[in-house]
Amino acid sequence: MDCERVTELLMSSTYAIAFTGAGISTASGIPDFRGPNGLWRKYSPELASIEYFERNPKGFWDFYSLRMRGLFEAEPNKAHYALAELEKLGLIKAVITQNIDGLHQKAGSKNVIELHGTMRRCYCTNCGKSYDSKEVLKIIDQGISPPKCSCGGIIRPDVVLFGEPVKGIYEALNIAYDADLVLSIGSSLTVYPANLIPQVVKEHRGKLIIINMEETPLDEIADIVIRDRVEEVLPCIVENVKKLIG
């Protein structure tokens, strides 16, 4: 593992950011989408599309409520905690995530940009009222599916579905323009426009470090590629940093 070199680059950077994908949460028991045990090997991605939600909201919620319950049971793992620690140490300025599980915040990360929204909240498609997702699951448990708002509107999760624009991409791109290093963690780097983030850092002469179990399309432009488990690599970096700062 090349974590000494990553530690050196991180400590000599002035504005390092992290870009995370589903691979950071697999050790928390949440399957990724495209890895060997990925969700899309079992289910069709169409189930998480705006088109399907509008056409068959009950079918959408049958699938989505299962996912939501799984995500609620999950706890952060060593990789989430290590990233929060690096932010506390002043070495990571922001975490830009494609994940909707909220595990970065649960682990203590403060500056988190959620490009695909969060499954912890829902809202009414008619009046916009916001709901805690746990309340929405209770409505479903009472046999009301799709869940309905007090105004009669259908409730949906506050996540970006396939076919919808990504949230916060401009804020994320602005951060990427300022960054001189990006750690890409557990992402296949195949989902556009989120995968512009590491490319923008690199195009502005920043360093790109990829930590992912499988090859990614950006490996050839990366400064370092570590093909190992993120929950092992990130704690190793934190350990090295702590040794160096005493």
Residues in the site for ligand NAD, rule: CB under 6 A? 21-23, 25-27, 30, 32-35, 38-39, 98-101, 116, 186-188, 190-191, 212-214, 229-231
Nearer to ligand NAD, 115 or 149 (CB): 115
Report d(CA 215, CA 211) in Å as an integer: 10
Tell me how far, at minimum, the Cβ of 25 lies from ligand NAD, in Å: 4
- Residue of this chain nearest to ligand NAD (CB atom): 23
Tell me how far, at minimum, the Cβ of 140 lies from ligand NAD, in Å: 20
**Active-site residue, 116 included:** yes
Tell me how far, at minimum, the Cβ of 14 lies from ligand NAD, in Å: 27
Nearer to ligand NAD, 7 or 188 (CB): 188
* Bond into 146 cis (ω within 30): yes
Q: Give the tokens for residue 178.
A: 């300022």
Report d(CA 106, CA 140) in Å as an integer: 25
Nearer to ligand NAD, 122 or 230 (CB): 230
Which residues carry out catalysis? Answer: 116
